[in-house]
A and B are shown apart, each in its own frame.
Chain A
Amino acid sequence: MNSIFASVAGWGVNVAIAFTALRTNLMRSILTTLGVMIGVFSVILAVAVGNGAQVSVTQQIATLGSNMAIVVPQPDSGSGPPRPNDRGRLTERDGQAILRQVSGVRAVAPQIRNSVQLVTPGRSATTQATGATPEYGNISNVNASEGRFLTKSDVGSAARVAVIGQTVSDKLFGGDSPVGQTIRVNRVPFTVVGLLESKGSNLGTDNDDQIVVPITTLRQRLLTTPTQGPDDVTLLFVGFEDEDSLLAGQKEIKRLLRDRYRVQKGKINPFTVRTTTEIAETTSQVTQIFQAVLVAIASISLLVGGIGIMNIMLVSVTERTREIGLRMALGARRSDIRNQFLVEAAVLCIIGGAIGLLLAVLAATIFQKVADFPAPVGIDTALFSIAFSAVIGLLFGGYPAVRASRLSPIEALRSE
């Protein structure tokens, strides 16, 4: 088989010739390599940051729980603009109705959220209090890693108990176990009964910076802004058996709530129902677009680097026309000459690509540490970038290389 790359001279020879040539014009080679290096660096970093956003979003959604619908008292204007006159409402009774009447519902967890001030002897912190029921635990995968989670009787008796996040615990108790301790929440003494399992942080949001208290207690003692009704909630988590019932359930919830709030045909819902699947899809679409834009911008610098390669290879061919003629006189075929310059361009690019990759890994690591944002550079990205820079070399080195190989031996030999 005669491949288009076949030539008499081996690749090793061409690499050796390339290194000699590159060393001869060291400064020029370095500057040319720099272009590719920056290009590869930015492309890899863009891919890594995009991947990181994707990972973050996936994690965020995973911490939310799966097969879940979230109902919030926000008017759902659909695609149209929100209208300030539409006010939303949502109550615990709505939640009970959903649990009774919508099929496939496993549990409903109502929540009220309110910002609170925490005080222990000598220390204080501000955090978010989530008023919840035990269902929150099993729908959203929230468990106590130490002590216990909320129970039915905590809610029933509006007990002054709290399950606190790791961040809060660290702030108030340092390394000590918080279970059994007393904290003042908005001046009201609460007993810490459990420590929440750590969920880390995503996109700058610390999932461990919160406390969970019984919804009844929060409503009676911690609410700072009055609600419209006695059992208004900030949101409802509706857990479904499986994905199929989630899809059907979303429609049923809407129908049920429209009935309950007597929404007339054509009017806007005073509530919004989103499923975790929807949220995952939209956010992953957004991050994909984000990544595509990043990579597109970064690719421009790689393109510029490639043009730099082409430019310098054209100069190199012109400078070495006599050498090309000599090599032809000594028996080099056109393919030998072409490959010699292709390899030279590829070597430039691969060196640039490798350094760019190294710097990108370094930058991603620093980014991860400083900005607390995952930017994973996988082995596949690494291999791809090296291969890609070689392709850039072949692509942009191709024209100069072919031009060199088309020279007539005697014309080349006679040039000065």
Chain B
Amino acid sequence: MTMTVPLIDTHDLVKNYEIGGETVHAVNHVSLSVERGEFVAIMGASGSGKSTFMNMIGCLDVPTSGTLLLDGIDTKSLDSDQLAEIRNRKIGFVFQQFNLLARTSALDNVAVPLIYSGIGYTDRRQRAQLKLEAMGLGNRLENTPAKLSGGQQQRVAIARALVTDPLMLLADEPTGALDTQTSLDIMGIFQKLNDDGITLVVVTHEPDIAEYAARRIVFRDGKIIEDEPVKSRRRAEHHE
């Protein structure tokens, strides 16, 4: 058996905010390991530190203290260029508000991360097209976000997150702006991606959405208060 390192490994991770002389402990000594191939749902009340934690493991924000190892690499030793490269190659982000570039076609939106991998124009568009087709958007390549529904926009965003073939997908309330059925569709997509081997960490405050994951973590006041496997896991029916 080969020794595998956890994909995400935090030790006493802390993020404090100073507001008006007072210290807010947004994330308070969190230690957590996520192995490759896991599907983790993070739950908790608003303000419990979920987003702050996600931003740190996504290398968008810098911890106040503690260590964060991604795929075995201590992120503290990395400079801003190296962090950018990790965000580009190893992590795919899915946001609540989709964050697509306006007045830019679905295809060009999906291709953006590849710009920063140094991939050429033709190659970028080819790869982006493949990912969009996999999301069932092969007939929407040239549409701008304004011409797409919320669910379609989120699928474009997922295609974009996947276009560099990252190890993990980090999604902070990806269904927060979607109706119930569309939310379930998105979770189905996540499950399928997970079946194909990608690691997922999804923040949600809806219990039924969390049941699509395999492991459930609950935050409160910046600490993990629950961490256990999902007992009655829900499977999305695949129609294809």
A interface list, Cβ under 8 A from B: 8-10, 12-13, 20, 24, 322-323, 326-336, 408-410, 413
Contacts and interface: CB of A to CB of B under 8 A. Distances in A.
Classify the secondary structure of A's interface with B: helix
A135 B61 CA distance: 90
A406 to B, nearest CB: 10
Contacts of A9: 115-116, 118
Contact of A330 (B80, B81, B88, B104): B88
A327 B160 CA distance: 12
B164 A331 contact: yes
B160 A330 contact: yes
A330 B103 contact: no
A330 B116 contact: yes
Interface string B95-136: 000010101100000001101111011000000000000000
Contacts of A328: 60, 84, 87
B133 to A, nearest CB: 20
Interface of B: 55, 58, 60-62, 80-81, 84-85, 87-89, 93, 99, 101, 103-104, 112-113, 115-118, 120-121, 160, 164
Contact of B113 (A10, A323, A330): A330
Count chain A CB atoms within 10 A of each CB in B58, B62, B87, B93 and give the residue with the most.
B87
A333 B116 contact: yes
B35 to A, nearest CB: 24
B116 A323 contact: no
A327 B120 CA distance: 17
A329 B97 CA distance: 14
A182 to B, nearest CB: 81
A323 B101 contact: yes
B121 A331 contact: no
Contacts of B61: 408-410
Contacts of B55: 410
A10 B103 CA distance: 21
Given A408-B61, A410-B61, A329 B93 contact: yes
6 contacts: A9-B118, A10-B115, A330-B88, A333-B81, A336-B116, A413-B60
B56 to A, nearest CB: 9
B201 to A, nearest CB: 15
B62 to A, nearest CB: 8
A330 B60 contact: no
Q: What are the 9 closest A-B residue pairs judged by CB atoms, nearest first?
A: A331-B88, A331-B116, A410-B60, A330-B113, A410-B61, A333-B84, A409-B60, A8-B118, A9-B115
A415 to B, nearest CB: 12
Nearest to A412: B60
B81 A334 contact: yes
Contacts of A409: 60-61, 87
A331 B101 contact: no
Contact of B116 (A12, A20, A24, A332): A332
B229 to A, nearest CB: 30
A334 B164 CA distance: 19
A12 B58 contact: no
Contacts of A408: 61-62
A320 B121 CA distance: 24
Contacts of B62: 408
Nearest to A335: B81
Contacts of A323: 101
Count chain B CB atoms within 10 A of each CB in A323, A328, A329 and give the residue with the most.
A329
A330 to B, nearest CB: 4
Contacts of A12: 121
Given A8-B115, A410-B60, 12 more contacts: A9-B118, A20-B103, A322-B99, A329-B87, A329-B93, A330-B93, A330-B112, A330-B116, A333-B116, A334-B84, A410-B55, A410-B61
A26 B84 CA distance: 32
Contacts of A333: 80-81, 84-85, 116
Given A332-B84, A410-B60, A8 B121 contact: no
A61 to B, nearest CB: 58
A8 B117 contact: yes
Given A408-B61, A409-B60, A326 B101 contact: yes
Nearest to B99: A326
A326 B113 CA distance: 10
B115 A13 contact: yes
Nearest to A413: B60
A335 B93 CA distance: 21
Contacts of B85: 331, 333
B138 to A, nearest CB: 22
Contacts of A327: 112, 116
B92 to A, nearest CB: 9
Contacts of A336: 84, 115-116
Contact of B84 (A20, A322, A331): A331
Contact of A331 (B99, B104, B117, B120): B117
Contacts of A334: 80-81, 84
